[in-house]
Amino acid sequence: MSSRSVVALVLACTPAWSQAWQSLESHPRPDWARPWVNLNGPWQFDFDPDDKGVAERWFETHEFVEQINVPFPWQSELSGIHNVDYDGVAWYQRDVPIPTDAGPRYFLVFGAVDWKATVWVNGQELLTHEGGYTPFEIELTDLVKPGETALVTLRAEDYNSPDLPTGKQVRWYTHVGGIWQTVYLESRGVAYFERAHISSDIDAERAVVNATVIAPEAAEYTLTIEARHEEQTVSQSQQVAFQEGPNQATLELAVPNPALWSPDFPALYDVTVRLQRGDVVVDEVSTYFGMRKVSRGTYGGSDFEYILLNNKPIYLRGALHQSFNPKGIYTHPDDDYIRRDYEKAKEYGLNCLRIHIKTEEPRALYWADKLGVLLMCDVPNFWDKSDRAYPAWEYTLRKQVDRDFNHPSIFAWVDFNETWGIGHEGYDKEAQEWAHSMWKLTKELDPTRLVEENSPCNYDHTETDINSWHFYIDNFERARDHIAEVVEKTYPGSQFNYAEGWVQGTAPLMNSEYGGVSAGSGDRDISWVFLFLTNLLRKYDKITGYIYTELSDIEWEHNGFMNYDRSDKVYNYPADITVADLQSADFPVLDCPPYQKVAAGDTVQIPVLLSHWSQRQNLKIRYSVHGKTVDGRPWNEWIPAVERGVEATPFRVTPQGTFNFTAPDGTGLISV
């Protein structure tokens, strides 16, 4: 068969390539999709606690006893194994039929295997990969013909090592072992795209595509990108001469009057990148991108920097997202489950999540893109320094940034959290310099996003794009004084919140973790502590956002907006107030304690400010009083609600005078 005929099979696939036959049916990477076969579902499985499988050649002959539901880790309920105590070696095996229309090249892709994976195909060892969060692949083209079956065996080795990037699997929550992301077979061309990073330039109304193409021989090709959003379709082609092996190519695509991506309007451009040789389409990938710009800078005459989205300040109303779940642990049970997490975030009034010390599943990033949730994405930490800790972490960083480059929801990378790992045995100068070098590397790998080198609780930044800090305080007076101190000490040249020998630049200030119920605090109501802490943070226009801990409860933490099983919590707010009301772009700040004890006839004065982070006009504030007298009568029976118009500067906090009233007969508590 001629090469022209074989290549054409990529464009005329039978339904086998698009039908998924087991759990987690959706394509694992909507940002990078070709014809595929889903290999999730039952695999043969056995633990190997004595590590004798290689010597006994389990990859050739072994009577497997167990069966596991891939891609769920063996610790999870959904795996069918549910062994949360085992760390060590385990084996997987299954037959992989190669469709008759496969090709001309086809690859076995593993989304993620924790931690070390060795793969045999038909008894031949082909690859060993180390890295629990990143994908790897094996080409099967020359090993198994279309219509034949490949026997795939995988040995997973995971010893829960604290000197490897593990995130909160170690010393926090349930560990994850083995295959935990989708496994699939993918069809590609003779020459094929290895990657295509798309950077949007809203100021120049263009998108820039930086593609890597693997070519089997030197030849002339045509590289085409076509982008579509609603009624707009734009495309650009370019002739390129490639050599054998990997090749780089850059293509600019004009996008006039672009639809800008934002949390309020998450416009996505569906993209086809196509490689042709003559008239023949050699390879084609479906992806997408968003026209959006992330930057930092002053705005409207401010003397401090904001985080800017599409050249305007944005107030980040965020929550920490550990992205664990009860039945799948690290792996979402299904696509609806992922989507609901992001829908609930929007329902709570959030426009941002911080994916905490986990390289997230790509479909979760897709739903953030689709629904409009900005993401700060952490790199999983190691806990103890060793000769392999630093290179293993850097490998994870590089692969994470490379894989997830096209997701418009990601606005910032967070390299380290609370000096975990890098602060093992002390955050010394050598460790600081290395962390700083990794910050610079992250910015080189991705100049389109902000990068925080260390999200600190020990006041030990080095150099960063985001000057954030953490606090967990459940007392109003202490929280009030603490936040005021942070704001007062934040200015260029200040040594506050920075490691010895480093000083603040102009990086915008935000909170990246806060709460009144910290880990190990027990199962407590978060209603009022969330209200008064958030109210205190919104008092200062120098603070450009917050990350509340957290979106959902998790295992032994009980501080989420929802329970660990994603059921709703009951909030002790008045019936007409929701969590979303406390997380709006425009927020009335009450400069007073959350409760006040008053006696009959007392005059109460409540200073009011408006945290105004939208460009809406003709706003009004409505004041009302809640609480009861000691004999149970509600205050609002005597104190009528008051409504006023406001004057406020966008993206600033503006005083709105005071709300004054006289307490009627009776003594009690007032909440305003």
Give the pLDDT confidence of 251-306 residue by residue, as tens digits. Answer: 999 999 999 999 999 999 999 999 999 999 999 999 999 999 999 999 999 999 99
Which pLDDT score, from 0 to 100, does residue 103 have?
86
Which pLDDT score, from 0 to 100, does residue 4 have?
26
429-445 vs 389-403: helix axis angle to the nearest 10?
20
Parallel, antiparallel, or unpaired for β 467-472 and 509-515? parallel
Which pLDDT score, from 0 to 100, does residue 616 have?
87
| DSSP string computed for 83-95 | -SS--EEEEEEEE
The phi, psi pair for 636, rounded to 5°, reads -70, -5
The phi, psi pair for 429, rounded to 5°, reads -60, -40
Average confidence (pLDDT) over 477-483: 96
Residue 546's contacts (CB-CB under 8 Å, 6 or more residues apart) are 316, 317, 318, 510, 511, 512, 514, 534, 537
Average confidence (pLDDT) over 205-217: 97
User: Which tens digits make up the pLDDT trace of 403-445?
Assistant: 999 999 999 999 999 999 999 989 999 999 999 999 999 999 9
Q: 570 vs 420, which has greater pLDDT?
A: 420
Q: Is the pLDDT of residue 481 over 50?
A: yes
Which pLDDT score, from 0 to 100, does residue 21 have?
32
User: Which tens digits make up the pLDDT trace of 512-555?
Assistant: 999 998 887 777 788 889 999 999 999 999 999 999 999 999 99
pLDDT band at 14 (very low <50, low <70, confident <90, very high): very low
Ranges 1-5, 102-106, 165-169, 379-383: which has the least confidence = 1-5
Over pLDDT 90: what percentage of the chain? Answer: 83
A 10 A CB-CB count for 630 gives 9
The whole-model pTM stands at 0.93
Q: 456 vs 597, which has greater pLDDT?
A: 456
Whole-angstrom CA distances from 170 to 114, 158, 387, 510, 624 are 13, 12, 19, 28, 47
Average confidence (pLDDT) over 177-199: 97
pLDDT band at 11 (very low <50, low <70, confident <90, very high): very low
Q: In what order do the strands lie in the sheet with 245-254?
A: 192-201, 206-215, 245-254
Which pLDDT score, from 0 to 100, does residue 672 have?
56
Handedness of CA 481, 482, 487, 489 (dihedral sign): positive
Using the CB atoms, write b or e for 495-516: b if 16+ within 10 Å. Answer: ebbbbeebebeebbbbbbbbbb
Q: Is the pLDDT of residue 613 over 60?
A: yes
User: Which tens digits make up the pLDDT trace of 352-396?
Assistant: 999 999 999 999 999 999 999 999 999 999 999 999 999 999 999
pLDDT band at 92 (very low <50, low <70, confident <90, very high): very high
Average confidence (pLDDT) over 63-84: 97
Which pLDDT score, from 0 to 100, does residue 237 have?
96
pLDDT band at 18 (very low <50, low <70, confident <90, very high): very low
Which pLDDT score, from 0 to 100, does residue 24 have?
65
Structure tokens at 442: 């992250």
E strands present in 255-371: 269-277, 280-289, 294-297, 306-309, 312-313, 316-321, 352-355
Indicate the Cα dihedral angle 561, 566, 572, 577, nearest 10°. 70
Q: Is the pLDDT of residue 468 over 90?
A: yes
Q: 422 vs 662, which has greater pLDDT?
A: 422
Which pLDDT score, from 0 to 100, does residue 528 have?
87
Residue given tokens 């040995």 in the structure block? 155
Prior bond of 49 cis (ω within 30°): no
Over pLDDT 70: what percentage of the chain? Answer: 95
Q: 569 vs 9, which has greater pLDDT?
A: 569
The phi, psi pair for 6, rounded to 5°, reads -65, -45
Q: Is the pLDDT of residue 1 over 80?
A: no
Residue 90 near residue 178 (C-beta atoms within 8 A)? yes
Q: Is the pLDDT of residue 12 over 60?
A: no
Q: 362 vs 24, which has greater pLDDT?
A: 362
pLDDT band at 9 (very low <50, low <70, confident <90, very high): very low
Ranges 20-24, 97-101, 352-356, 373-377: which has the least confidence = 20-24
For the chain, give the mean pLDDT: 92
Average confidence (pLDDT) over 122-136: 97
pLDDT band at 10 (very low <50, low <70, confident <90, very high): very low
Give kind and range of the element (H or E) at residue 432: helix 429-445
Prior bond of 447 cis (ω within 30°): no
- What is the spatial distance between Cα 82 and Cα 323, in angstroms, rounded to a whole number? 19
Which pLDDT score, from 0 to 100, does residue 577 have?
84
- What is the spatial distance between Cα 432 and Cα 558, in angstroms, rounded to a whole number? 33
pLDDT band at 637 (very low <50, low <70, confident <90, very high): confident
Ranges 149-153, 223-227, 290-294, 646-650: which has the least confidence = 646-650
Which pLDDT score, from 0 to 100, does residue 558 have?
93
In the DSSP assignment, the letter for residue 659 is E
- For residue 215, give the nearest of 241, 251, 186 by alpha carbon: 241
Average confidence (pLDDT) over 559-567: 95
pLDDT band at 670 (very low <50, low <70, confident <90, very high): low
Q: Is the pLDDT of residue 226 over 90?
A: yes
Counting Cα atoms < 13 Å in the Cβ hemisphere of 492 gives 6
Which pLDDT score, from 0 to 100, does residue 642 have?
86
